[in-house]
Structure 1
Amino acid sequence: MVSSRTLGSLFESFEREAFRLETLDDYSRSGNTDAYELYRAGEPQPAGYNAEWVAELRSLTGQGKRVYRVHVLARPLTDYLRFELGWGYRKNMTGGEEFFILDVTDAPNPLVGVPDFWLFDSTDTAAMEYDEHGVFRGAKVLPASEAERFVGFRQTALAHAEPFTDWWAKHGE
């Protein structure tokens, strides 16, 4: 039997928390390409940048739901990471999303080989699939039996990460 669950349906139905693990240094081929080009050209952030997602975040967090993520990265930051953290994370925080950084510049990566994923309510997992150039290919909703493994990945990520604002104060641009 094929599941009708999708990443979108999991976002619509989660009740408590949505967690994201990010592991790539460059998502520039997966969306927000116009904004990224503005950033690279030294232009100011457009007033409506990420407005739909920020509104969605405000709705979710207003209902008492938590949306948070950990990004595994190493310095020096790529141009894309400077954009994502400087424009994206800082903007999304205004909607209530929480961010953590797992900096593996001077420490071993405890999550080698773990894919990007969303984990909802510790029960539903969507593994994010990207090609070798960082182009998003889709999300695969995994069987419920996989959730415990991804809960472990989340716990490991959070145990080794620090709040984005603390990390950014030390390493941001």
Structure 2
Amino acid sequence: MRLTGRAWPEFFDTYERSAFRLETLPVYAMHDEQDEFRRFLAGERPPPDLHYTWLDRVAKFRATGRTIGRVHVLTRPLTDYIRYEFDWAYAFNVQAGEDIRILDVTDSPEHPLLSAGDFWMLDEKHVVSLQYREDGTQIGRELLTDPDIAKYVALRDLALAGAVPFEDYRTA
């Protein structure tokens, strides 16, 4: 089932215990980030009080005892987009309570997670596959019917086993 418009956040916000995202792309072409990304490329730092809706949602999830996290699988050198994401998003998401980890597979170019595809797994029972064009533009979110949950749990566990907390990666 395709999740479009308000159906996506409404479905997502109903998770009960845990939400996990696997990110595998070097660039995400998000329309609402274009201005900030240009500012980043021009050398501008994010304002210390930067605020966006996702931070409120993360804080709400955490306040109700739910966990939320992601692992971004990447290779060096970091793309401009990932460097932007680190400064203008991840740093703030972590402060709001999101557990963000980085899995650097530069020395493992055939790492299986590089071809796993992006997804959200909710409560270890729902999987939403995220589809993108080559340029990182999202073209769909598909709630999988009858997903092989063991496969997605194994992908999550593989990602978490080798990943380091965002702040540790950033300061290394």
TM-score scaled by length of structure 2: 0.89
Residue identity matched to 2:11: L
Relative to structure 2, which stretch is displaced further, 145-154 or 69-78? 145-154
Structure 2: how far apart are the matches of 1:50 and 1:131? Answer: 28
**Aligned residue number for residue 159 of structure 1:** 161
Q: How many residues of Structure 1 are paired with residues of Structure 2 in the alignment?
A: 169
Q: Return the TM-score normalized by structure 1.
A: 0.89
1:21-60, aligned counterparts within 5 Å? 21-46=22-47, 49-60=50-61
Q: 1:48 to 1:34 in 2, by over 3 A?
A: farther
Amino acid at match of 2:94: M
Question: Which is further off, 2-11 or 136-145?
Answer: 2-11
Deviations 1:118-144 (A, max 9, x none): 000010000000012111102011013
Give distance in 1, aligned partners of 2:161 and 2:135: 29
Asked whether the 8 Å contact 1:110–1:156 carries over to 2, the reply is no
C-alpha displacement of 1:50: 4.2
CA separation of 1:132 and 1:147: change in aligned 2, threshold 3 A: same
| 2:90 is equivalent to residue 67 of structure 1 | no
In structure 2, relative to structure 1, the CA distance for the partners of 1:129 and 1:96 (3 Å cut) is same
Partner Cα distance (1:3, 1:77) in 2: 32
Question: Deviation at 1:157?
Answer: 0.7
Superposed CA deviations along residues 20-72 of structure 1, whole A, max 9, x for unmatched, are 00000011345411111111111231466342111111111111111100000
Aligned to 1:133: 135
Identity %: 37
Distance 2:22 2:31 in 1: 16
Mean CA deviation greater in 61-70 or 22-31? 22-31
Structure 1 residue 95 corresponds to structure 2 residue 96: yes
Name the stretch that deviates more: 4-13 or 88-97. 4-13
RMSD: 2.0
Q: CA deviation at 1:112?
A: 3.4
1:147 aligns with 2:131: no
Question: After superposition, where does 1:77-116 map in structure 2 within 5 Å?
Answer: 77-108=78-109, 109-116=111-118
SS in 2 for 1:112: helix
Q: Any idea what SS the aligned residue of 1:32 has?
A: helix
- Residue identity in the other structure for 2:14: S
- Structure-2 separation of matches of 1:14 and 1:29: 24
- The amino acid across from 1:57 in the alignment is V
Shift of 1:85: 1.2
Q: CA deviation at 1:110?
A: 3.1
